[in-house]
Amino acid sequence: MLRDIVSNELYTVLLVAGLLIVAIAKLTSPKRFDDFIYVLGNSKYLKIYSRDQKFLDKFDALLFSNLILSASVFSFIAYRQINNGSRLSIDLMFKIAFSICVFILIKVLIERLIASIFEIDKLIDQYLFQKISYKNYIGLLLLPINALLLFSFKPTLPVIYFIIVLLLIVNIIGIITSFKTHQSLIKRNYFYFILYLCTLEISPYIILYKVFIAN
Protein backbone atom coordinates (compact mmCIF):
# COMPACT_ATOMS: atom_id res chain seq x y z
CA MET A 1 0.00 0.00 0.00
CA LEU A 2 1.29 3.46 -0.83
CA ARG A 3 2.35 5.43 2.22
CA ASP A 4 2.08 8.91 0.74
CA ILE A 5 -1.27 10.21 2.05
CA VAL A 6 -1.47 13.04 -0.49
CA SER A 7 -0.80 10.60 -3.31
CA ASN A 8 -3.47 8.26 -2.05
CA GLU A 9 -6.01 11.06 -1.89
CA LEU A 10 -5.37 12.14 -5.46
CA TYR A 11 -5.33 8.56 -6.71
CA THR A 12 -8.59 7.89 -4.90
CA VAL A 13 -10.23 10.94 -6.46
CA LEU A 14 -9.17 9.80 -9.93
CA LEU A 15 -10.33 6.23 -9.32
CA VAL A 16 -13.70 7.39 -8.02
CA ALA A 17 -14.03 9.75 -10.99
CA GLY A 18 -13.35 6.84 -13.33
CA LEU A 19 -15.91 4.67 -11.55
CA LEU A 20 -18.51 7.44 -11.74
CA ILE A 21 -17.90 7.89 -15.45
CA VAL A 22 -18.28 4.16 -16.07
CA ALA A 23 -21.43 4.12 -13.93
CA ILE A 24 -22.90 6.96 -15.99
CA ALA A 25 -22.09 5.07 -19.18
CA LYS A 26 -23.87 2.00 -17.84
CA LEU A 27 -26.89 3.96 -16.63
CA THR A 28 -27.32 5.86 -19.89
CA SER A 29 -26.75 2.84 -22.15
CA PRO A 30 -27.30 -0.34 -20.09
CA LYS A 31 -27.81 -2.71 -23.04
CA ARG A 32 -24.80 -1.38 -24.91
CA PHE A 33 -22.65 -1.54 -21.79
CA ASP A 34 -23.61 -5.17 -21.19
CA ASP A 35 -22.64 -6.00 -24.78
CA PHE A 36 -19.43 -4.02 -24.43
CA ILE A 37 -18.31 -6.06 -21.41
CA TYR A 38 -17.95 -9.12 -23.66
CA VAL A 39 -16.27 -7.35 -26.58
CA LEU A 40 -13.01 -9.22 -25.99
CA GLY A 41 -14.44 -12.62 -26.82
CA ASN A 42 -17.47 -11.69 -28.87
CA SER A 43 -17.65 -9.50 -31.97
CA LYS A 44 -21.39 -8.92 -31.51
CA TYR A 45 -20.81 -5.49 -30.00
CA LEU A 46 -18.58 -4.39 -32.87
CA LYS A 47 -21.01 -5.61 -35.53
CA ILE A 48 -24.08 -4.02 -33.98
CA TYR A 49 -22.82 -0.65 -32.83
CA SER A 50 -20.38 0.12 -35.64
CA ARG A 51 -23.40 0.67 -37.91
CA ASP A 52 -24.64 3.62 -35.87
CA GLN A 53 -21.21 5.00 -35.11
CA LYS A 54 -20.98 8.78 -34.86
CA PHE A 55 -17.93 11.01 -34.71
CA LEU A 56 -19.02 12.25 -31.27
CA ASP A 57 -20.55 9.30 -29.44
CA LYS A 58 -21.61 9.88 -25.83
CA PHE A 59 -21.01 6.29 -24.73
CA ASP A 60 -17.54 6.11 -26.27
CA ALA A 61 -16.71 9.59 -24.97
CA LEU A 62 -17.53 8.55 -21.41
CA LEU A 63 -15.45 5.39 -21.61
CA PHE A 64 -12.66 7.31 -23.32
CA SER A 65 -12.63 9.74 -20.39
CA ASN A 66 -12.24 6.81 -18.03
CA LEU A 67 -9.45 5.47 -20.24
CA ILE A 68 -7.54 8.74 -19.91
CA LEU A 69 -7.93 8.81 -16.12
CA SER A 70 -7.14 5.12 -15.61
CA ALA A 71 -4.21 5.13 -18.02
CA SER A 72 -2.82 8.23 -16.30
CA VAL A 73 -2.96 6.60 -12.88
CA PHE A 74 -1.34 3.41 -14.15
CA SER A 75 1.29 5.38 -16.09
CA PHE A 76 2.34 7.21 -12.97
CA ILE A 77 2.42 4.02 -10.91
CA ALA A 78 4.67 2.50 -13.57
CA TYR A 79 6.71 5.71 -13.81
CA ARG A 80 7.40 5.88 -10.09
CA GLN A 81 8.46 2.23 -10.01
CA ILE A 82 10.82 2.68 -12.95
CA ASN A 83 12.18 5.91 -11.46
CA ASN A 84 12.56 4.65 -7.91
CA GLY A 85 9.57 6.18 -6.19
CA SER A 86 9.20 9.64 -7.70
CA ARG A 87 6.67 11.68 -5.73
CA LEU A 88 3.29 12.47 -7.21
CA SER A 89 2.42 16.02 -8.16
CA ILE A 90 -0.86 17.26 -9.55
CA ASP A 91 1.04 19.06 -12.29
CA LEU A 92 2.76 15.87 -13.43
CA MET A 93 -0.48 13.90 -13.31
CA PHE A 94 -2.17 16.55 -15.45
CA LYS A 95 0.68 16.41 -17.96
CA ILE A 96 0.43 12.62 -18.16
CA ALA A 97 -3.35 12.72 -18.69
CA PHE A 98 -3.06 15.51 -21.25
CA SER A 99 -0.27 13.71 -23.13
CA ILE A 100 -2.22 10.44 -23.32
CA CYS A 101 -5.34 12.25 -24.53
CA VAL A 102 -3.47 14.28 -27.15
CA PHE A 103 -1.51 11.24 -28.32
CA ILE A 104 -4.65 9.18 -28.97
CA LEU A 105 -6.61 12.05 -30.52
CA ILE A 106 -3.77 13.03 -32.86
CA LYS A 107 -3.49 9.43 -34.04
CA VAL A 108 -7.23 9.33 -34.72
CA LEU A 109 -7.16 12.64 -36.59
CA ILE A 110 -4.21 11.52 -38.73
CA GLU A 111 -5.99 8.29 -39.57
CA ARG A 112 -9.14 10.21 -40.50
CA LEU A 113 -7.07 12.54 -42.66
CA ILE A 114 -5.53 9.57 -44.45
CA ALA A 115 -9.01 8.12 -44.93
CA SER A 116 -10.20 11.35 -46.52
CA ILE A 117 -7.20 11.50 -48.84
CA PHE A 118 -7.72 7.94 -50.08
CA GLU A 119 -11.54 8.18 -49.90
CA ILE A 120 -11.94 5.24 -47.54
CA ASP A 121 -13.80 7.07 -44.78
CA LYS A 122 -16.36 4.32 -44.16
CA LEU A 123 -13.70 1.65 -43.81
CA ILE A 124 -11.58 3.75 -41.47
CA ASP A 125 -14.62 4.68 -39.38
CA GLN A 126 -15.29 1.00 -38.73
CA TYR A 127 -11.64 0.33 -38.02
CA LEU A 128 -11.34 3.28 -35.62
CA PHE A 129 -14.51 2.19 -33.84
CA GLN A 130 -13.00 -1.23 -33.27
CA LYS A 131 -9.72 0.26 -32.07
CA ILE A 132 -11.28 2.74 -29.67
CA SER A 133 -13.59 0.03 -28.34
CA TYR A 134 -10.63 -2.12 -27.35
CA LYS A 135 -8.80 0.87 -25.90
CA ASN A 136 -11.87 1.73 -23.84
CA TYR A 137 -11.96 -1.88 -22.70
CA ILE A 138 -8.38 -1.48 -21.50
CA GLY A 139 -9.54 1.56 -19.53
CA LEU A 140 -12.19 -0.60 -17.92
CA LEU A 141 -9.62 -3.27 -17.01
CA LEU A 142 -7.33 -0.66 -15.50
CA LEU A 143 -9.90 0.39 -12.89
CA PRO A 144 -9.61 -2.75 -10.73
CA ILE A 145 -5.93 -3.14 -11.62
CA ASN A 146 -5.13 0.36 -10.36
CA ALA A 147 -7.17 -0.20 -7.21
CA LEU A 148 -5.23 -3.38 -6.46
CA LEU A 149 -1.87 -1.75 -7.14
CA LEU A 150 -2.69 1.20 -4.92
CA PHE A 151 -4.49 -0.33 -1.98
CA SER A 152 -3.89 -4.09 -1.88
CA PHE A 153 -0.22 -4.72 -2.51
CA LYS A 154 2.93 -2.83 -3.34
CA PRO A 155 3.58 -2.77 -7.09
CA THR A 156 6.89 -4.15 -8.32
CA LEU A 157 8.54 -3.90 -11.71
CA PRO A 158 7.74 -7.52 -12.68
CA VAL A 159 4.08 -6.91 -11.85
CA ILE A 160 4.07 -3.66 -13.83
CA TYR A 161 5.65 -5.35 -16.84
CA PHE A 162 3.19 -8.24 -16.61
CA ILE A 163 0.25 -5.82 -16.64
CA ILE A 164 1.73 -3.91 -19.59
CA VAL A 165 2.09 -7.18 -21.52
CA LEU A 166 -1.50 -8.08 -20.63
CA LEU A 167 -2.76 -4.74 -21.92
CA LEU A 168 -0.69 -5.12 -25.09
CA ILE A 169 -2.29 -8.52 -25.66
CA VAL A 170 -5.75 -6.92 -25.45
CA ASN A 171 -4.61 -4.28 -27.95
CA ILE A 172 -3.20 -6.95 -30.28
CA ILE A 173 -6.49 -8.86 -30.08
CA GLY A 174 -8.18 -5.70 -31.29
CA ILE A 175 -5.80 -5.43 -34.26
CA ILE A 176 -6.30 -9.11 -35.11
CA THR A 177 -10.07 -8.67 -34.94
CA SER A 178 -9.85 -5.75 -37.35
CA PHE A 179 -7.59 -7.80 -39.61
CA LYS A 180 -10.12 -10.65 -39.72
CA THR A 181 -12.96 -8.24 -40.45
CA HIS A 182 -11.16 -6.63 -43.39
CA GLN A 183 -8.78 -9.41 -44.41
CA SER A 184 -9.88 -9.51 -48.05
CA LEU A 185 -9.20 -5.79 -48.44
CA ILE A 186 -5.91 -6.04 -46.55
CA LYS A 187 -4.69 -8.89 -48.74
CA ARG A 188 -5.26 -6.75 -51.82
CA ASN A 189 -3.33 -3.88 -50.25
CA TYR A 190 -0.82 -5.78 -48.13
CA PHE A 191 2.03 -3.33 -48.67
CA TYR A 192 -0.05 -0.35 -47.53
CA PHE A 193 -1.29 -2.31 -44.53
CA ILE A 194 2.28 -3.06 -43.40
CA LEU A 195 3.21 0.56 -44.02
CA TYR A 196 0.27 1.67 -41.89
CA LEU A 197 1.19 -0.70 -39.05
CA CYS A 198 4.78 0.51 -38.99
CA THR A 199 3.88 4.19 -39.27
CA LEU A 200 0.83 4.62 -37.05
CA GLU A 201 0.65 1.54 -34.83
CA ILE A 202 4.25 0.65 -33.98
CA SER A 203 6.49 3.70 -34.40
CA PRO A 204 4.48 6.03 -32.06
CA TYR A 205 4.94 3.59 -29.17
CA ILE A 206 8.63 3.18 -29.95
CA ILE A 207 8.99 6.96 -29.86
CA LEU A 208 7.15 7.12 -26.53
CA TYR A 209 9.42 4.41 -25.14
CA LYS A 210 12.51 6.31 -26.26
CA VAL A 211 11.26 9.58 -24.79
CA PHE A 212 9.89 8.41 -21.44
CA ILE A 213 11.69 5.16 -20.65
CA ALA A 214 15.01 4.91 -22.45
CA ASN A 215 15.98 8.44 -21.46
End-to-end CA distance of the chain: 28
Domains of the chain, residue spans: 5-214
pLDDT tens digits for range 148-189: 988 887 788 888 889 989 998 888 888 787 777 767 766 776
Q: What pLDDT is recorded for position 18?
A: 93
- CB count within 10 Å of CB 23 equals 13
Distance CA 61, CA 55 (A): 10
pLDDT tens digits for range 124-152: 777 788 888 899 999 999 999 999 988 88
Q: What pLDDT is recorded for position 151?
A: 85
Quote the pTM value.
0.82
Contacts of residue 52, defined as CB under 8 A and 6 or more positions apart, other chains included, come to none
